[in-house]
Amino acid sequence: MSALYFTGRKINGDLMAIDRCITSEDRRLTSENRAITSEQIKNSASKLRQARPAYEELIDFYEEFFLAQEESRQRLDIDPIEIELDKLKLKSDNGMPLIDSSHFKIDMEQAEILLKKICTLALNKTQKLSSAAKKILQGLSENRFKSEDIFNSLLKDGRTILKETSKIIDVSEEELIFFAFWAIAPAIRSGAQQLEFYLSKDKSGVKRPDVEMNTSDLESVDMENSDLESSVQRKNVEGEDTLAGIGLNVAGIDLHSDWKKGYCPICGNLPQMAFLNQDGAKYLICGFCQHQWKTSRMGCALCQNKEKEKQHYFYNEEEREYRVDLCDSCGKYIKLIDLRELTRDFYPQLELLCTLHLDIQATEQGYASVLQTISKPT
Q: What is the mean pLDDT of the chain?
A: 78
Hey, is 310 helix, strand or coil?
helix
**Position 122 in a domain:** yes
User: Domain ends where: 135, 169, 198?
Assistant: 198
Of the candidates 355, 296, 306, 353, which has an alpha carbon nearest to the alpha carbon of residue 327?
306
pLDDT number for residue 82: 85
Burial of 362 (C-beta count, 10 Å sphere; 0-12/13-18/19+): buried
**Position 213 in a domain:** no
CA 297, distance to chain mean position in Å, is 21
* Lowest mean per-residue pLDDT among 31-35, 132-136, 196-200: 31-35
Separation between Cα atoms, residue 257 and residue 260, nearest integer Å? 9
User: Looking at the predicted structure, is the pLDDT value of residue 34 above 80?
Assistant: no
Give the count of domains, the chain.
Answer: 2
Burial of 264 (C-beta count, 10 Å sphere; 0-12/13-18/19+): buried
Question: Do residue 151 and residue 286 come from a single domain?
Answer: no
**Position 74 in a domain:** yes
Question: Do residue 192 and residue 311 come from a single domain?
Answer: no
φ, ψ for residue 322, nearest 5 deg: -110, 145
**Position 308 in a domain:** yes
**Position 155 in a domain:** yes
Separation between Cα atoms, residue 251 and residue 213, nearest integer Å? 12
Mind listing the pLDDT tens digit for each residue in 51-107? 999 999 999 999 999 999 999 999 999 988 888 888 888 888 888 899 999 999 999
What type of residue is 260?
K
* Lowest mean per-residue pLDDT among 115-119, 236-240, 293-297, 353-357: 236-240
Question: Do residue 54 and residue 148 come from a single domain?
Answer: yes
**Position 323 in a domain:** yes
User: Domain ends where: 183, 198, 213?
Assistant: 198
Question: Do residue 185 and residue 49 come from a single domain?
Answer: yes
Determine the average pLDDT of the residues in 280-309.
Answer: 92
CA–CA distance from 180 to each of 1, 210, 222, 333, 348 (Å)? 35, 36, 48, 27, 20
pLDDT number for residue 237: 35
Question: Do residue 40 and residue 182 come from a single domain?
Answer: yes
Question: Do residue 26 and residue 152 come from a single domain?
Answer: yes
pLDDT number for residue 200: 53
The model carries a pTM of 0.77
pLDDT number for residue 255: 55
φ, ψ for residue 369, nearest 5 deg: -75, 140
**Position 142 in a domain:** yes
User: Domain ends where: 157, 172, 198?
Assistant: 198
Mind listing the pLDDT tens digit for each residue in 240-272? 333 333 344 434 455 555 687 889 999 999 999
User: Looking at the predicted structure, is the pLDDT value of residue 219 above 80?
Assistant: no
Question: Do residue 191 and residue 278 come from a single domain?
Answer: no
Separation between Cα atoms, residue 138 and residue 378, nearest integer Å? 38
Question: Do residue 169 and residue 70 come from a single domain?
Answer: yes
Hey, is 83 helix, strand or coil?
strand
Rg (C-alpha) for the chain, rounded Å, is: 22
**Position 27 in a domain:** yes
Hey, is 107 helix, strand or coil?
coil
Question: Do residue 159 and residue 304 come from a single domain?
Answer: no
Determine the average pLDDT of the residues in 271-289.
Answer: 95
Separation between Cα atoms, residue 22 and residue 139, nearest integer Å? 41
Question: Do residue 159 and residue 23 come from a single domain?
Answer: yes
Question: Do residue 37 and residue 182 come from a single domain?
Answer: yes
Alpha helix segments (H runs only) across the chain: 15-22, 38-51, 56-74, 85-94, 108-122, 127-141, 147-155, 160-168, 173-195, 228-231, 348-353, 356-364
Of the candidates 120, 119, 107, which has an alpha carbon nearest to the alpha carbon of residue 184?
107
Question: Do residue 47 and residue 131 come from a single domain?
Answer: yes
The highest-confidence range among 75-89, 165-179, 294-308, by mean pLDDT, is 165-179
Separation between Cα atoms, residue 26 and residue 132, nearest integer Å? 45
Of the candidates 272, 244, 246, 256, which has an alpha carbon nearest to the alpha carbon of residue 335?
272
- Domain coverage including residue 348: 271-373
User: Residue 61 contacts by C-beta under 8 Å, 6 or more apart in sequence?
Assistant: 121, 122, 125
